[in-house]
Amino acid sequence: MREKKGLHFLKRRGIIEIIGISTVVVIWQLVASFIVKKTYLLPSPYEVFFAFYTVREVIPIDIYISLLHFGIGLGAGTAVGITLGALMGGFKLVDRAMDPIMEILRAIPPIAWIPFAIIWLKLTHYSAGFVVFVGAIFPILINTYTGFKSVDKIYIDAAKVLGCKKGMSLIKSVVLPYSLPYIAAGTRIGMGIGWMCVVAAEMFGASGRVGLGWRLWNRFYALHMMDKLVAYMIIIGLIALLLDRVFRYFVEETTLKWRKGMVAA
């Protein structure tokens, strides 16, 4: 189909996207400054921009701390999730023994663990990390389990005929590589949930007076500095986006070349 010549430049990469974002920002600015007219109810983009500037000194340390909490939780969640998922996927007995417990634990929202996180781990980085762990572990566990369960029998047979004896070597050379896309997809979901948990746990002060979530709630909200609050919301969102992109890039370009698009959105 032929398009009108005048609209042709729109096809170039990024143009439409920039127009989309700018439109939203302009409407937001107009609504904020001509209709709402109260920073408390709706800070304008202009004010938010300045808020970034005024809080610029605490942003890096807050990001660092939150990423630390996230890293602790995701690291533990990945390690334990893959191990348990593999055990449950590999051994019927373990599966039957653990399944009911896992189903119940999984149904409890991670946020509900914040009190125990604080009581068990005190106000350390580990306690926010623990909440992230609870949030991230289940998607990773379940996906690993699914991957282990769905290995095509033909690959197992092929490996056996080529000399792979039962057990560890079969898991290492067939089941694990087969399950990698599943594990990656689970990890990606776990990362999304884990990042929400970081913010929530920090809001409750699970790790003391640190982190993006803590400042957002206990400083900006408590003091009604809504412009700064919005600035932090944007930071939190951008980091989530960035984490996801980096993960996808890493996984798809390096480990999963053989199965393009498997972990794509």
Contacts with other proteins, residue ranges (CB under 8 A) = 154-155, 157-164, 169, 173-174, 177-178, 180, 257-259
DSSP conformation class of 3: P
Question: Shortest approach of other proteins to residue 84 CB, angstroms?
Answer: 23
Q: Residues 143, 183: contact at Cβ < 8 Å?
A: yes
Give the residue with the Cβ less far from other proteins, 31 or 158. Answer: 158
Question: Shortest approach of other proteins to residue 145 CB, angstroms?
Answer: 19
Distance from the first to the final alpha carbon of the chain: 29
Question: Shortest approach of other proteins to residue 247 CB, angstroms?
Answer: 19
Give the residue with the Cβ less far from other proteins, 80 or 156. Answer: 156
Q: How far apart are CA 83 and CA 145, in angstroms?
A: 10
Please report how the helices 45-54 and 15-30 are oriented relative to each other, as an axis angle in degrees rounded to 10. 100
Q: Where are the beta strands (DSSP E) in the chain?
A: none
Question: Shortest approach of other proteins to residue 176 CB, angstroms?
Answer: 10
Give the residue with the Cβ less far from other proteins, 174 or 243. Answer: 174
Radius of gyration of the chain (CA): 23
Give the residue with the Cβ less far from other proteins, 56 or 160. Answer: 160
Question: Shortest approach of other proteins to residue 160 CB, angstroms?
Answer: 4
Question: Shortest approach of other proteins to residue 177 CB, angstroms?
Answer: 4
Q: Residues 238, 63: contact at Cβ < 8 Å?
A: no
Report which of 217, 194, 184, 192 is spatially closest to residue 110, judged by C-alpha positions. 194
Give the residue with the Cβ less far from other proteins, 8 or 166. Answer: 166
Report which of 194, 189, 181 is spatially closest to residue 263, judged by C-alpha positions. 181
Q: How far apart are CA 213 and CA 63, in angstroms?
A: 10
Give the residue with the Cβ less far from other proteins, 90 or 177. Answer: 177
